[in-house]
């Protein structure tokens, strides 16, 4: 549709300008203030920019925030409020956790320990990778960092050890299977913990902002652990059926792992520091509804433990550009979403939709929304852009149709991670795994679609029942 | 006093713990809540940490913020509020301006243009450097980046061009003079614009937080331009008297500058973008009291102009670690200072001091405080640590003594930049200039002290009169 960044940029600006001035032609919709409309214009242009990316989304966020204040749509303090948001700093902290896992080698050690213990055949190797990802997922809010930074390097060197190389035409020996299975698992774990991927935190914030639904870390984990573990247990086996590896037994894998562990030596002090900080964070996050200690504060203190213990250095913090990038683009989006909500726009929209939904049962409405939300992701190159563009609106519609707010928030929210499995561009870790060239694009989409059905049955179907059992609706 | 970082760290923690539990022994002072006392304990420990630096100050800030929330002294939103503060994002933006000046070469071009026009002798070269620094100072909030990143490289290569090299014993030829004069000028320009050095913004925020005094960008500039330009005009001449360069005439300087400009060619598109963004920012900052456009929003929009124009890239933004470092350490300190103020501690302290100051005239009190504030900086290695530790308390005392709040805020605030000239460790740019080895430590302190007297006469003495003339008190 657009060939150059310039065209994309001009279109983005055009959307904003046209929307901004539209009320001069059509008149202002009943029940909205001009400020609310202007906020809407900037918000839509920002989302269009996030989707088309004429510039990196952080740059778009910075400009959008500046403009809301510059054009006096928001007060300066409101325009900047997202940057002091607890969610944002939970993400910044979790990026630093990921740094700790990567830098100290603790992530690799966990993978090799599981591999040494169980991986006597290809299928078990698939499970090894899936559960390595699962174990570290609660504190690595970037599935790209977790999948691409920790799991993928181990996986790739393993494929080489088994002489499965795409350049030599031996990718089907074991590589294709492991790559596909591990990547799909990476997306499933992303759905299980709030802190397993950044857009989950956006989900939580938007749910609170737009529908007043508050979801705690422990509550999310409790809600997702049953459908999530089920999906995670199915995934390696399902992919095994789709891409049966030529090599079934892998008697060498535990030996390779043992050698790597030998090389690494006994656990270093720095690894112990990360492990301690990680367990402390998990314990405090899981018990926060009893202790009342805020999740972000726990994370900051645990990052402090890693800093004091020397596992990461301050230089690591200020050069962790992923954290600062996320701070800006997501903090900016939070400011805009909060501003849009406070302007009354969301309520106006919800009232409008609600009055058009008489006669549709909320179950139907919610399930249709969940299906659309999931497969709409074929059109997105980022979970975050998807959540930013769609989540608040879909949640508003579901609630307007009569769905219990917490149920609707969880159902639309749990899809954020698993939607990443659909395409080779659906999330940041996808191009990394895809780029290893073990799987063609057609194969990738096929696996993605088949696994997505399993995931939908587990999360949306069984999840809905499980949430009823534990009394969430 | 402390030999190792560990000792410093333990002492910092000890200060916090002892203060925290002190009321269990002494009882809580009348009129304070326990939360206010606990906030005070964390604040003092943080400042001790900033001064002793057992870890980088950003790490201390992150831990302190985490602890205030973790120990429930502040609500999570309050603990993180500093990170969404307008001042902080003005600094982040201005770091990006500095990046634009350095990356595009516009800063160097400005220096060579002035040099080509006027620098026919050593003294005029001194003025060239001083005014180069002055011109770019409104948008480079790090005197280290401005002095060290833009001006120093030009200066150092100029010294070489004149064959004035410390290794060859020829430093007195012209280098000693130029280094000393330029560094002192760098500190003076830091006092002239709020955005010329980050701690000025801390001053403005603390003045607003603790005394309800709001100081706009234009107001500060108007207040400081007369004493500041006077000090800046005196400086190169005064240093010329202290360190008379052996080489008086520099007929080659304009030629060297012309050659450099020739090499650079005509102004590139990227430079024009920075220049345009810079002039736009200056115009909007200077007129903000009429337009009502917030200074931070102006800065963000102008950074947006640089991004859209391609003068800086998003990668430059997220790897600008100086900005993120400052965001964390200063944002954290802002949260703590705001928390301490809202807890009622500052008011309690002010009331206590006020009732002990009967009979002391406010003029005496203010001038004594200004003197102490200035020369206390011999004990500090950072303007920011100094401001964080002392400014709110001194301002509170001055106002309790009866000084007009705005006058007191400006007088104590204007010293922030010039105090950097005192020692070779007083501010970030000092070690860079000092490290070039043109000046011994004894000489450095001598120049610093002599110029400080001139600066104090200009800013505190003449400044006070000027502020009366323009009706600020």
Supply the pLDDT for residue A50: 86
Contacts of B304 in chain A (CB under 8 A): 59, 62-63, 66-67
Query: Which residues fall within 8 angstroms of residue A235, CB to CB, at 6 or more apart?
Result: A130, A181, A184, A185, A188, A451, A454
Condensed to tens digits (0 to 9), the pLDDT of residues A115-153 reads 898 888 999 999 999 999 999 999 888 888 888 878 898
As a whole number of angstroms, the distance between CA A405 and CA A409 comes to 6
d(CA A348, nearest CA chain B) in Å: 28
Give a three-class secondary structure readout of B326-391: HHHHHHHHHHHHHHHHHCCHHHHHHHHHHCCCCCCCHHHHHHHHHHHHHHHHHHCCCHHHHHHHHH
pLDDT exceeds cutoff 80 at B233? yes
Q: Please answer yes or no on whether B297 and A69 come within 8 Å at the CB atom.
A: yes
| Spatial distance between the Cα atoms of B332 and B90, rounded to a whole number of angstroms | 15
- The answer to whether residues A301 and B63 touch, using CB atoms and an 8 Å cutoff, is yes
pLDDT higher than threshold 80 for residue A354: no
| Best A318, A320, A333 residue to mutate vs chain B (most B CBs within 10 Å) | A318
Give start and end residues of each alpha helix (H) in A76-174.
76-80, 86-104, 106-118, 122-136, 143, 152-161
Closest Cα partner for B50 from B333, B454, B435, B421?
A: B333
DSSP string, A21-67: HHHHHH-PPTT--HHHHHHHHHHHHHHHHHHH-SS-HHHHHHHHHHH
pLDDT reported for residue A348: 87
Cα distances from B277 to residues B138, B170, B191, B307, in angstroms, run 12, 41, 23, 10
- Residue B438, SS3? coil
CB contact under 8 A, A318 and B296: no
pLDDT at A59: 96
The interface predicted TM-score of the complex, written ipTM, equals: 0.83
| Closest to B365 in 3D by CA, of B332, B391, B339, B400 | B400
CA distances to A440, A450, B292 from A436, rounded to whole Å, are: 10, 21, 54
Higher pLDDT pick, A435 / B406: B406
DSSP string, A368-408: HHHHHHHHGGGG-S-HHHHIIIIIHHHHHHHHHTT--HHHH
A70 to B324: CB separation less than 8 angstroms, yes or no: no
Cβ atoms of A441 and A209 closer than 8 Å: no
Q: Does the pLDDT of residue B431 top 90, yes or no?
A: no
The residue ranking higher by pLDDT, A467 or A108, is A467
Please name the member of A65, A70, A321 whose beta carbon is closest to the beta carbon of B293: A70
- Answer whether 0.90 is exceeded by the pTM: no
Which whole number is the average pLDDT over B20-27?
94
The C-alpha atoms of residue B182 and residue B197 are separated, in whole angstroms, by 16
State yes or no: pLDDT of A236 exceeds 90.
yes
Length of chain A: 473
Cβ distance B62 to A317 less than 8 Å, yes or no, reads yes
Q: Is the pLDDT at B213 greater than 90, yes or no?
A: yes
Tell me the nearest-neighbour CA distance from B130 into chain A, angstroms. 32
Q: What are phi and psi of B203, to 5 degrees?
A: -55, -50
Q: Determine the straight-line distance between the first and last CA of chain B, rounded to whole angstroms.
A: 43
- The predicted pLDDT at position B270 comes to 95
pLDDT band at B79 (very low <50, low <70, confident <90, very high): very high
Look at residues A470, A451, A6, A467 and name the one whose alpha carbon lies nearest to residue A186.
A451
What confidence tens digit (pLDDT) does each residue in A395-411 have?
999 999 999 999 999 99
Contacts of A66 in chain B (CB under 8 A): 297-301, 303-304
């Amino acid at each position: 549709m657009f060939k150059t960044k310039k065209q994309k940029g001009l279109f983005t600006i055009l959307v904003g300008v046209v929307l901004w001035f539209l009320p001069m032609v059509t008149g202002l919709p009943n029940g909205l203030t001009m400020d609310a409309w202007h906020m809407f214009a900037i918000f839509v242009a920002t989302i269009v920019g996030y989707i088309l990316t004429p510039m990196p989304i952080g740059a778009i966020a910075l400009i959008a925030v500046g403009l809301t204040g510059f054009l006096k749509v928001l007060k300066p303090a409101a325009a900047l409020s997202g940057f002091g948001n607890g969610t944002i700093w939970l993400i910044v902290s979790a990026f630093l956790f990921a740094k700790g896992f990567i830098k100290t080698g603790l992530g690799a050690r966990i993978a090799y320990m599981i591999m040494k213990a169980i991986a006597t055949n290809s299928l078990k190797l698939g499970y090894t990778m899936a559960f390595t990802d699962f174990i570290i997922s609660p504190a690595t809010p970037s599935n790209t960092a977790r999948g691409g930074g920790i799991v993928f390097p181990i996986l790739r060197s393993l494929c080489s050890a088994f002489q499965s190389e795409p350049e030599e035409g031996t990718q089907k020996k074991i590589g294709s299977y492991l790559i596909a299975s591990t990547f799909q698992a990476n997306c499933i774990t992303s759905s299980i913990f709030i802190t397993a991927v950044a857009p989950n935190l956006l989900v939580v914030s938007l749910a609170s902002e737009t529908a007043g639904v508050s979801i705690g870390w422990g509550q999310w984990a409790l809600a997702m652990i049953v459908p999530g573990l089920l999906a995670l247990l199915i995934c390696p086996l399902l992919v095994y059926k789709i891409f049966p590896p030529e090599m079934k037994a892998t008697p060498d894998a535990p030996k390779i792992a043992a050698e790597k562990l030998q090389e690494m030596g006994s656990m270093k002090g720095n690894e112990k520091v990360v492990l301690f900080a990680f367990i402390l964070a998990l314990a405090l996050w899981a018990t926060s509804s009893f202790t009342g200690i805020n999740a972000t504060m726990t994370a900051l203190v645990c990052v402090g433990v890693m800093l004091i213990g020397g596992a990461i250095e301050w230089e690591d913090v200020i050069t962790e550009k992923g954290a600062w990038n996320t701070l800006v683009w997501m903090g900016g989006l939070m400011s805009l979403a909060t501003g849009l909500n406070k302007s009354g726009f969301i309520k106006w929209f919800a009232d409008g939709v609600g009055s058009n939904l008489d006669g549709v049962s909320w179950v139907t409405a919610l399930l249709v929304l969940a299906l659309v939300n999931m497969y709409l992701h074929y059109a997105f190159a980022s979970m975050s852009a998807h959540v930013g563009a769609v989540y608040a609106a879909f949640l508003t519609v579901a609630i307007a149709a009569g769905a219990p707010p917490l149920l609707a928030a969880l159902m639309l929210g749990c899809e954020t991670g698993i939607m990443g499995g659909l395409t080779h561009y659906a999330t940041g870790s996808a191009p990394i795994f895809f780029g290893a060239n073990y799987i063609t694009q057609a194969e990738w989409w096929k696996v993605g679609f088949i696994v997505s059905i399993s995931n939908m049955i587990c999360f949306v179907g069984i999840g809905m029942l499980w949430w009823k059992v534990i009394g969430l609706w």
